[in-house]
Structure 1
Amino acid sequence: MASSLESLGEYDDIVAWVNDTLPIDSDVSELDQSIVQLLASLDIAAEDTSSQLERTIDDVARSVPRLTYDLHFMNDGASTLQSALRHVCNRAVAVVPDPMKETLDHLRTLDKIKTNMEAARDVLREAESWSTLEMEVTGLLGDQQYAKAAARLSEASRSMVVFQNTPEYDPRRSLMTSLQNQLEASLSSALVSAINIQDLPACKDYFAIFSDIQRESEFRNYYNGSRKAPLATLWQSTRLKDCDEDEGVILFADFLPKFYEQCLTVLHHERNVMPEIFPDPLVSFSAFLLSALSGLQPSISHRLSTVSNHYGDAVLQELITLFKTTEDFARSVQNIMEKMKLSSSSEDTAVSPPAPRRRKSIRMSMSWRSAPVRASSSTHTISSKLASLSEWEQELFQPFLEFQVDYASLERRFLDNTLMATVTLDTSRPGKQDVARLLRERAVDAFGAAEESMNRCMAFTHGYAAVGLVQALDSFFKSFMDMWRREMHAQLQPSAHISPDEPEDEENAGLDYTSADWAVFQLSLHLLSSARSVHERLLSFESKLRVNITHISTSFRLAREDPQTFAMSASLRHLEQSVLQSAELQTLLEPQRPGQPEPLLLEARSAISECARTCQDALQHTILSPLIKALEGYASLPLWTAVDEVKPSANPKEVKLHIPSFSLDPSDNMKRVAEGLLNLPRLFEGYGDDDALAFSLDTLPHAQAASTEPSTPAPMGHARRQSVSAGSKQAVDREAISGAWLSSFGRTFLLHLTLQVLPSIQDLTPRGAAQLASDLGYLSNIVGALNVEGEDLSQWRRCVEADDLDAVSVKDDIWREVLRMRR
Structure 2
Amino acid sequence: MTFPNSAESLESLEEYEDVTSWINDTLTASGSIQNNESLSELDQQITQLLASLDIACEDTSSQLERTIADVSRGIPRLTYDLHFIKDNALSLQTSLATVHARSRAAIPDSTASALEQLKRLDTMKTHMEAAREVLREAESWSTMEVEVTSMLAERSYAKAAFRLSEANKSMIVFQNTPEYDPRRTLLVNLQNQLEASLSSALVAAINEQNLEACRSYFYIFSNIQRELEFRNYYYGSRRASLTSMWHEADLSDTALEEKTSGQKFSEFLPKFYASVLALLNQERSSIPAIFPDPAHTLSAFISSIFSALQPTFSQRLTSLSSHYADLALKELLANFKITEEFAVAVAKIMEKIQYSTIAPSLSEIPNSANHTDPSTPTPPSHSRKRSMRMSISFRSGANRSVSSGQKIPSLADGLDWDQELFHPFLEFQVDYGSLERRLLDHALREIVSIDTRQKVSCSDQARIFRERAVDVFGAAEESLVRYSAFTHGFGSMSLLQALDGFLKSFVDMWTADVSFASSGPQSTLQNAGSEDLSGLDYTSQDWSNIQSMLHLLSAARSVFEQMTSFEVKLRSSLAQTASKFRLHRGDPSSFPIASSKGSEQILEQSSLNSADLHALLDRVDLDPSHSREIHLRSQGVSSIAGEPLLVDARSAMFELAKACQTSLQNTILSPLRQQLASYASSPIWVTTAVDSRNTAFNDLQVPTFSLSPSETIQRVTEGLLNLPRLFEVYADDDALSFSLQTLPFADPELLKSVADPSVSEVSSVPTHSRRQSIAKVATLDPETVSTAWLSSLGQSLLAYLTTDILPRINQLNAGGAAQLASDLGYLSNVIRVINVESEELQQWKEYVELDDDAGKAELYGTNDEEGVLRHVAHMRGWK
TM-score category (smaller protein): 0.7 to 0.9
Q: Which of 451, 458, 466 does residue 426 from structure 1 map onto? A: 451
Instruction: Pick from 551, 556, 579 the counterpart of residue 554 of structure 1.
Output: 579
User: 2:644 pairs with 599, 606, 617, which one?
Assistant: 599
Relative to structure 1, the CA distance from residue 687 to residue 432 in structure 2 (aligned partners, 3 Å threshold; closer, same or farther) is closer
Superposed CA deviations along residues 466-520 of structure 1, whole A, max 9, x for unmatched, are: 11111110111111111121122334xx5x5699999622595542111221122
1:585 aligns with 2:613: yes
State the match for 1:490 in structure 2.
516
Distance 1:711 1:477, change over 3 A: closer
Letter paired with 2:450: L
**1:109-158: CA deviation from partner (whole Å, max 9, x where unpaired):** 55443332222221111111111111111111111111111111111111
Residue 102 of structure 2 is matched in structure 1 by 95
Provide the rounded CA distance (Å) in 2 between the counterparts of 1:642 and 1:802.
18
Partner Cα distance (1:649, 1:441) in 2? 73
Flag structure 2 segments of 5+ consecutive residues without an equivalent: 29-34, 359-387, 395-406, 630-639, 762-770
Name the CA distance, whole Å, in 2 between partners of 1:128 and 1:456: 72
1:699 alignment partner in structure 2? 742
Q: Is the 8 A contact 2:457 2:520 kept in 1?
A: no
- What is the aligned partner in structure 1 of residue 254 from structure 2? 243
Structural RMSD (CA) = 4.4
Is 2:442 the counterpart of 1:407?
Answer: no
Asked whether the 8 Å contact 1:499–1:515 carries over to 2, the reply is yes
Alignment map for 1:59-458 (pairs within 5 Å): 76=83, 80=87, 83-84=90-91, 86-88=93-95, 90-92=97-99, 94-97=101-104, 109-244=120-255, 245=257, 247=259, 248-344=261-357, 348=390, 388=413, 390-427=415-452, 432=457, 434-458=460-484
Distance 1:788 1:565 in 2: 66
Matched, 1:517 2:579: no
Question: Post-superposition shift, 1:749?
Answer: 1.4
The verdict on how the C-alpha distance between 1:474 and 1:156 changes in structure 2, with shifts beyond 3 A counting, is same
Partner of 2:449, secondary structure, is helix
Contact 1:283 1:351 in 2 (8 A): no
Distance 1:182 1:659, change over 3 A: closer
Which of 481, 485, 490 pairs up with 2:507?
481
Compared CA separation, residues 116 and 546, structure 1 to 2 (3 A): same
Give, as a single letter, the amino acid of the residue that structure 2 aligns with 1:333.
V
Q: Which amino acid aligns with 1:225?
A: G
* CA separation of 1:44 and 1:742: change in aligned 2, threshold 3 A: farther
Of 557-566 and 609-618, more deviation after overlay is shown by 557-566
User: What's the offset of the Cα at 1:736?
Assistant: 0.9
How does the TM-score come out when normalised to structure 2?
0.78
Q: Percent identity?
A: 47
Alpha-carbon offset, residue 716 of structure 1 = 3.8
Figure out how many residues of one structure are paired with residues of the other and give that number: 770
> How far off its partner does 1:540 sit?
0.6
Q: Distance in 1 between matches of 2:699 and 2:391?
A: 126
The structural deviation recorded for 1:174 is 0.8
What secondary structure does 1:635 align onto? coil
Aligned position for 2:666: 621
Deviations 1:72-93 (A, max 9, x none): 6687567546644653554355
Distance 1:385 1:706, change over 3 A: farther
- Are 2:313 and 2:424, in contact at CA under 8 Å, matched by a contact in 1? yes
Distance 2:273 2:351 in 1: 19
Q: Shift of the alpha carbon at 1:388?
A: 3.5
- What is the Cα deviation at residue 284 of structure 1? 1.9
Q: Distance in 1 between matches of 2:356 and 2:719?
A: 94
Q: Distance in 1 between matches of 2:693 and 2:15?
A: 110
Whole-angstrom distance in 2 between the partners of 1:53 and 1:644? 111
Amino acid across the alignment from 1:408: G
Comparing 132-141 and 790-799, the one that deviates more: 790-799
Matched, 1:468 2:494: yes
Tell me the residue number matched to 1:378.
Answer: none
Cross-structure match for 1:669: 712
Aligned amino acid, residue 621 of structure 1 = N
Question: In 2 relative to 1, CA 241–63 (structure 1 residues): closer, same or farther, beyond 3 Å?
Answer: farther
Give the residue type in structure 2 aligned to 1:252.
F
Aligned to 2:870: 816
TM-fit CA distance, 1:665: 1.5
* Residue aligning to 2:32: none
Q: Indicate yes or no: 2:694 matched with 1:687.
A: no
Is contact 1:513-1:626 (8 Å) kept? yes
Of 110-119 and 687-696, deviating more is 110-119
From 516, 537, 541, the equivalent of 2:562 is 537
From 675, 679, 695, the equivalent of 1:630 is 675
Q: 1:717: how far off?
A: 7.2
In 1, the alpha carbon distance for the partners of 2:56 and 2:828 equals: 75
Aligned-partner Cα distance in 2 for 1:514–1:337: 80
Contact 2:418/2:596, CA 8 A, preserved across alignment: no
Instruction: Give the whole-Å Cα distance in 1 for the aligned partners of 2:647 and 2:783.
Output: 31
Contact 1:640–1:767 (CA<8 Å) still a contact in 2? yes
Output aligned runs, 1:731-746, within 5 Å. Answer: 733-746=781-794
Asked if structure 1 preserves the Cα contact closer than 8 Å seen for 2:508 and 2:652, the reply is: yes
CA contact (8 A) 2:333 2:486 kept: yes
Residues 403, 62 of structure 1: alpha-carbon distance in 2 compared, 3 angstrom cutoff: farther
1:690 and 1:62 mapped to 2: Cα distance?
A: 90
Question: Contact 2:174–2:180 at 8 Å: present in 1 too?
Answer: yes
Task: Tell me the TM-score normalized by structure 1.
Answer: 0.83
**Rounded Cα–Cα distance in structure 1 between residues aligned with 2:296 and 2:772:** 70
1:791 to 836, 839, 844: 839
Change in CA separation of 1:624 and 1:69 when aligned onto 2, cut-off 3 Å: farther
After TM superposition, list the pairs within 5 Å mapping 1:702-721 onto structure 2: 702-703=745-746, 705=748, 707=750, 710=753, 713=756, 715-716=758-759
**3-state secondary structure, aligned to 1:243:** coil
Secondary structure of the residue aligned to 1:161 is: helix
Q: Give CA-to-partner distance per residue, 1:235-290, whole Å, 9 cap, x none.
A: 11111011122644211100000000011111111111122222222222122212
Q: Deviations over 1:456-475 (max 9, x none)?
A: 11111111111111111011
Equivalent-residue separation in structure 1 for 2:209 and 2:816 (angstroms): 115
Q: CA deviation at 1:705?
A: 4.4
Q: Which runs of 5+ in 1 are unaligned?
A: 23-28, 353-380, 724-728
Instruction: Measure how far apart 1:409 and its partner are.
Output: 0.4
